[in-house]
Amino acid sequence: MDYKVVALAGGVGGAKLAHGLYQALEPDHLSVIVNIGDDFVYYGLNISPDLDTVCYNLAGMAHRTNGWGLDEDSNRAMEQARRLGGDDWFILGDRDLGTHLVRTQQLNSGKTLSMVTRDFCSRWGIRANIIPMSDDQVHTKVLTKQGQSMDFQEYFVHQKCEPEVKGFHFEGLKEAAPAPGIDKIIHDSDLVVICPSNPWVSINPILSLQPIKEALMGKPVIAVSPLIGGNAVKGPLSKMYMELGIIPSCQAVSNHYRGIIKGMLIDQVDNHEKEAIEAFGIITYATDLLMNNDDDRKRLAVEALNFGKSLSIIP
Amino acid sequence: MDYKVVALAGGVGGAKLAHGLYQALEPDHLSVIVNIGDDFVYYGLNISPDLDTVCYNLAGMAHRTNGWGLDEDSNRAMEQARRLGGDDWFILGDRDLGTHLVRTQQLNSGKTLSMVTRDFCSRWGIRANIIPMSDDQVHTKVLTKQGQSMDFQEYFVHQKCEPEVKGFHFEGLKEAAPAPGIDKIIHDSDLVVICPSNPWVSINPILSLQPIKEALMGKPVIAVSPLIGGNAVKGPLSKMYMELGIIPSCQAVSNHYRGIIKGMLIDQVDNHEKEAIEAFGIITYATDLLMNNDDDRKRLAVEALNFGKSLSIIP
């Protein structure tokens, strides 16, 4: 297919569908705008987990089962660090460390995150346009019921999503601008796909950038539900909804994206939610959302593209 | 043997003899004061090559042939960094990286280099007291005939010692103090051994700290020649002497340490230099200085200890 698609993506589920779109489209017709709210500094290194997960997946280098890191990597550096009493709550593989070392060096030399990402993609042979939502710093903070404002990775990895959440805050967002080119990429696109990523912490940071939200107005935007039967394939989304007093459902997700999306892909097991979602003016398409392998990713991407096409007039 | 020994050490040769002394003595009766002039920042990480070489050797973890780094290490991080266009002129092995990650984190958290080194030694099971010459920053600069003032690792590793040298400068030395405890360690010692390290760039930074030089006055100090037949086993010492207009010889080394040392171990092939060195008031002892294995290291250490004992009255 040859139309131009912009995907919004965060963690593992988003990276999987981005990879499916990359297989289904002319590779240079895909742009992926990636969440940076999860980015953090660890051992003095700038870690961009969502960018790396998208890039590693598109380059065919992602770890097959972890959902993060590189395939066939080793953990010698972290084993030594642990032996010396260093932090080991966030595991950096040895090859993965090479990515963070060079990214950190290049950012410290004055390059922007989007410049570094473009350079890395070129070296990894990725022909899609992977772009961080912003070259400015945005830090997702998890507000807990214990009254704390916690760094995202502290919540997500170190504390294994155990604290009860009562909200989220994106530090730095007001001062942040979209990365250069994002406005034009969205303007030139034929379809925008919100990947099956966590709406609260993966997609909301992107949509909270006002210029991005405005650019999406009037564009054909569809979302793929990150919940199947009320459960996330990976991650704390279902738990978050419950802690926020919302029943985890496709309807809850669609409510999240109301006013932005025209259509939504849901799993067949959630077909009973069709009417409730369509009451929001959002057309649904039910299929099998689970992506167990590369073929699933491509198949779901093709279905999303066809569904998107059916909702919009594409030249 | 149960007397207390302080060794001054820099690179590979120094680490080998320090390891020999560690085998020959009660392990906690050995202190090693280590050069930090070679320390540098690479990829934002604090690298202390001489400290690591000494520690890795004493812990039995040193690479068997390289003279630097850890045995049985891999280079996955650096391979990825190279692929991404990052620097690769100084190779950091994967396990070795763990050391630098934790050291950097601990220094950034406010610990001193001697605190970090003591902690690492304890975790590595090293019972000797390994202590950096200073907790302040001292940077060896190589002055070249092309008029440049070059960082030591730039000269030593990146440019493979190719530039011609005309002198050395130790940046920060005037403001630097010896690490806490060094004065007492020297005061309490029965013998001080200057290891077969490069006098210009490994030992001079240590001896240029005035309080250390003063503490050595009146102590029985011996040196082991880093040259055998005018050649260094490893490193640019012979080339340096020639570029500085000095014939590389044990006599040149002894002249370097004149006024500080009472005795000097030289190789049997240099026995013809005996008289010239003794004319400086330095007693010589000729033996086989080459350390090809652990047994050689211990044998040479025992000879140095016996020679030192013969020169001094030890209680």
The pLDDT tens digits of the residues spanning A180-208 come to 999 999 999 999 999 999 999 999 999 99
Q: Which residues pair with A143 in a beta bridge?
A: A149, A167
User: Which of A47, A52, A102 to mutate: most B Cβ within 10 Å?
Assistant: A102
Looking at chain A, the whole-number percentage of residues with pLDDT higher than 90 is 93
The yes-or-no verdict on residue A135 having pLDDT over 60 is yes
Scan for tokens 């320390």, then name that residue. Answer: B39
Q: pLDDT tier at A68 (50, 70, 90 boundaries)? A: confident
Chain B CB contacts of A101 under 8 Å are 43-44, 77, 81, 86
Give the integer Cα–Cα distance in Å for B1 and A181. 72
pLDDT of B119-145, one tens digit each?
Answer: 999 999 999 999 999 999 999 999 999
DSSP for residue B290 = -
Element (H, E) at B227: strand B227-228
Determine the 3-state secondary structure of A94 from DSSP: helix
Closest residue in chain A to residue B105, using alpha carbons only: A43
Count of beta carbons in the 10 Å neighbourhood of residue A315: 4
Scan for tokens 């003595």, then name that residue. Answer: B25
**Which of A273, A259, A260, A263 lies closest to A303, judged by CA?**
A263
Subunit contact B76:A81, Cβ cutoff 8 A: no
Q: pLDDT tier at A130 (50, 70, 90 boundaries)? A: very high
Q: Does A296 touch chain B (CB under 8 A)?
A: no
Q: How many CB pairs under 8 A join A and B?
A: 112
Q: Does A115 touch chain B (CB under 8 A)?
A: no
Scan for tokens 């604290």, then name that residue. Answer: A163
Distance from CA of A81 to the nearest CA of B (A): 4
**Which of A106, A260, A97 lies closest to A193, judged by CA?**
A260
Q: pLDDT tier at A226 (50, 70, 90 boundaries)? A: very high
Closest residue in chain B to residue A119, using alpha carbons only: B84
Chain B CB contacts of A119 under 8 Å are 84-85
Q: Are A11 and A36 in contact (CB under 8 A)?
A: no
Q: How far apart are the first and last CA of chain A?
A: 13
Give the integer Cα–Cα distance in Å for B283 and B274. 8
Q: Are B224 and B250 in contact (CB under 8 A)?
A: no
| pLDDT for the residue numbered A57 | 97
Give the integer Cα–Cα distance in Å for A129 and B23. 59
The ipTM value here is 0.90
Burial of A309 per CB tally in 10 Å (0-12, 13-18, 19+): middle
Subunit contact A80:B96, Cβ cutoff 8 A: yes
Measured CA distances, A251 to A207, A247, A270 (Å): 19, 9, 9
Q: Which residues pair with A8 in a beta bridge?
A: A33, A194
**Which of B128, B132, B162, B160 lies closest to B47, judged by CA?**
B132
Chain B CB contacts of A76 under 8 Å are 73-74, 76, 93-95, 97-98
Give the integer Cα–Cα distance in Å for B153 and B50. 12
What residue spans of A6-93 are helical by DSSP H? 12-24, 49-58, 76-83
Determine the 3-state secondary structure of B131 from DSSP: strand
Q: Which residues pair with A142 in a beta bridge?
A: A150, A168
Determine the 3-state secondary structure of A25 from DSSP: coil
Q: Does A72 touch chain B (CB under 8 A)?
A: no
Chain A CB contacts of B86 under 8 Å are 98, 101-102, 105
Q: What is the pTM of this model?
A: 0.93
Question: What's the token pair of residue B227?
Answer: 């040259």
| pLDDT for the residue numbered A2 | 64
Q: How far out from the chain centre does Cα B303 lie?
A: 19
Question: What's the token pair of residue A19?
Answer: 């990879």
The yes-or-no verdict on residue A290 having pLDDT over 50 is yes
| pLDDT for the residue numbered B214 | 96
What residue ranges in B2-58 does DSSP mark as E strands? 5-9, 30-34, 40-42, 45-47
Backbone angles phi, psi at A266, to 5 degrees: -125, 165
Subunit contact B81:A102, Cβ cutoff 8 A: yes
Chain B CB contacts of A102 under 8 Å are 43, 80-81, 84-86
Q: pLDDT tier at A315 (50, 70, 90 boundaries)? A: very low
Question: What's the token pair of residue A27?
Answer: 């590779």
Subunit contact A101:B86, Cβ cutoff 8 A: yes
Looking at chain A, the whole-number percentage of residues with pLDDT higher than 70 is 98
Closest residue in chain B to residue A99, using alpha carbons only: B81
Residue in B44, B80, B123 closest to A108 by CB: B44
Q: How far apart are the first and last CA of chain B?
A: 13
The yes-or-no verdict on residue A313 having pLDDT over 80 is no
| pLDDT for the residue numbered A64 | 84
* Average pLDDT estimate for A53-75: 92
Give the integer Cα–Cα distance in Å for A18 and B123. 44
Q: Does B104 touch chain A (CB under 8 A)?
A: yes
Closest residue in chain A to residue B100, using alpha carbons only: A81
Domains and CATH numbers, chain A: 5-43+127-137+172-311 (3.40.50.10680)
Write out chain B's pLDDT in tens, 315 residues: 568 999 999 999 999 999 999 999 999 999 999 999 999 999 999 999 999 999 999 999 999 888 789 999 999 999 999 999 999 999 999 999 999 999 999 999 999 999 999 999 999 999 999 999 999 999 999 999 998 899 999 999 999 999 999 999 999 999 999 999 999 999 999 999 999 999 999 999 999 999 999 999 989 999 999 999 999 988 999 999 999 999 999 999 999 999 999 999 999 999 999 999 999 999 999 999 999 999 999 999 999 999 999 987 544
Mean pLDDT score of chain A, rounded to an integer? 95
Q: Are A293 and A240 in contact (CB under 8 A)?
A: no
Measured CA distances, B91 to B11, B69, B73, B164 (Å): 16, 9, 11, 24
Subunit contact B98:A78, Cβ cutoff 8 A: yes
Subunit contact A105:B87, Cβ cutoff 8 A: yes
- Residue type for B262, please? K
Give the integer Cα–Cα distance in Å for A201 and A240. 10
Give the integer Cα–Cα distance in Å for A103 and A138. 17
Count of beta carbons in the 10 Å neighbourhood of residue B106: 20
